[in-house]
């Protein structure tokens, strides 16, 4: 067994510590990237959410949240989908040019982009969509149903193919790392946890089944989304559907 301190992850951790007196870790290394990604040519789908859908005692949501991997055939409503997206990335305030959201983000840089593979949502065509956070609308990217392919790319985790919607979060690394350097990668991963947990609790509030997923073949999932995997790469997924006991 190699020593823990020789492991790649440990070296990264050690070399990105902040220490009094200054370290290289935070020095900006690269040019920044634009704050919001958009697909101006894509067909748009407006999103209508309804905060009343989440009106459940918060303590109960925390107590009852579980990862569920069995999904029924019934469709999600458009409002439920919108509510999930809003819980993850809804804009709740502005600070200068920054769009502050339901989830916190280091330096308010919001390096994560949200995509959703729609399989079973009422009045919404199957396919791949991107969330335009500022306008709170979806851009339709492709009509190819991705459930099975995502399940295949996620180490054959077949429950993904049964989900009504699969959310995918990518990082645009420059957005964060131009400011925080190598240490920024820590923050990007922390941001992802916040945002996914928001979505999971929203799913719980609406009585839906949800499961986070991080085991997947990176290149295969990036390819399905048309991402290069360097500038922007998928780091986290969440499957959501109707509960099936
Ligand atoms: C970062 C992360 C990655 C995960 N990846 C997977 C995954 O690839 N497949 C899966 O079925 N569950 C995945 N899970 C869910 C965990 O297995 C689950 O949270 C754990 O078993 C505890 O169960 P609970 O969520 O019901 O409390 C992941 C959870 C986290 C936080």
Point out the least confidently predicted range of 10-19, 28-37, 80-89. 28-37
Evaluate if residue 151 carries a pLDDT over 80. Answer: yes
Q: Is 43 in the pocket of ligand 1 (CB under 6 A)?
A: no
Residue ID of nearest Cα to ligand 1 atom 10:
213
Evaluate if residue 245 carries a pLDDT over 90. Answer: no
Mean per-residue pLDDT of the chain: 95
The angle that helices 78-89 and 184-205 make with each other, rounded to 10 degrees, is 150
Q: Tens of pLDDT along 180-189?
A: 999 999 999 9
Evaluate if residue 142 carries a pLDDT over 70. Answer: yes
The Å distance, Cα 152 to ligand 1 centre, comes to 17
pLDDT band at 1; cut points 50, 70, 90:
low
- Produce one character per residue of 106-120: b if its CB has 16 or more CB atoms within 10 Å, e if not: beebbbbbbbbbbbb
By CB neighbour count within 10 A (0-12 exposed, 13-18 middle, 19+ buried), where does 123 fall? exposed
Q: Is 62 in the pocket of ligand 1 (CB under 6 A)?
A: no
- d(C-alpha 81, C-alpha 138), whole Å: 11
Ordered by start, the domain boundaries in the chain are: 44-242
Number of Cβ within 10 Å of residue 148's Cβ equals 13
pLDDT band at 34; cut points 50, 70, 90:
confident
CATH class name, domain 44-242: alpha beta
Give the sign of the dihedral formed by CA 240, CA 237, CA 159, CA 223: positive
- DSSP alpha helix (H) spans, the chain: 8-15, 58-64, 78-89, 147-153, 159-162, 173-180, 184-205, 218-225
The Å distance, Cα 76 to ligand 1 centre, comes to 22
Does the global pTM surpass 0.85?
Answer: yes
% of the chain residues with pLDDT over 90 = 89
Q: Tens of pLDDT along 192-243?
A: 999 999 999 999 999 999 999 999 999 999 999 999 999 999 999 999 999 9
The Å distance, Cα 43 to ligand 1 centre, comes to 34
């Amino acid at each position: 067994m190699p020593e823990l301190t020789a492991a790649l992850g440990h070296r990264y951790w050690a070399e990105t510590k902040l220490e009094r007196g200054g370290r290289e870790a935070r020095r900006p290394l690269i040019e920044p990237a634009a704050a919001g990604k958009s697909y101006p040519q894509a067909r748009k789908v407006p999103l209508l959410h309804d905060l009343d859908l989440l009106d459940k005692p918060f303590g109960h949501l925390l107590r009852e949240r579980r990862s569920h991997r069995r999904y029924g055939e019934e469709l999600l409503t458009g409002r439920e989908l919108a509510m999930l997206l809003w819980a993850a990335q809804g804009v709740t305030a502005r600070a200068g040019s920054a769009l502050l959201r339901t989830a916190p983000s280091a330096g308010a840089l919001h390096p994560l982009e949200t995509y959703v593979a729609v399989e079973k949502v009422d009045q919404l065509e199957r396919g791949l969509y991107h969330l335009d956070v500022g306008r709170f609308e979806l851009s339709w990217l492709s009509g190819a149903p991705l459930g099975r392919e995502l399940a295949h790319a996620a180490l054959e985790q077949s429950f993904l193919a049964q989900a009504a919607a699969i959310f995918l979060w990518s990082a645009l690394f420059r957005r964060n790392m131009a400011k925080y350097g190598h240490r920024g990668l820590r923050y990007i991963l922390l941001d992802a946890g916040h945002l996914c947990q928001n979505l999971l609790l929203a799913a719980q509030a609406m009585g839906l089944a949800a499961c986070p997923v991080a085991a997947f073949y990176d290149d295969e999932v990036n390819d399905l989304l048309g991402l290069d995997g360097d500038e922007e790469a998928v780091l986290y997924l969440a499957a959501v559907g109707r509960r099936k006991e």
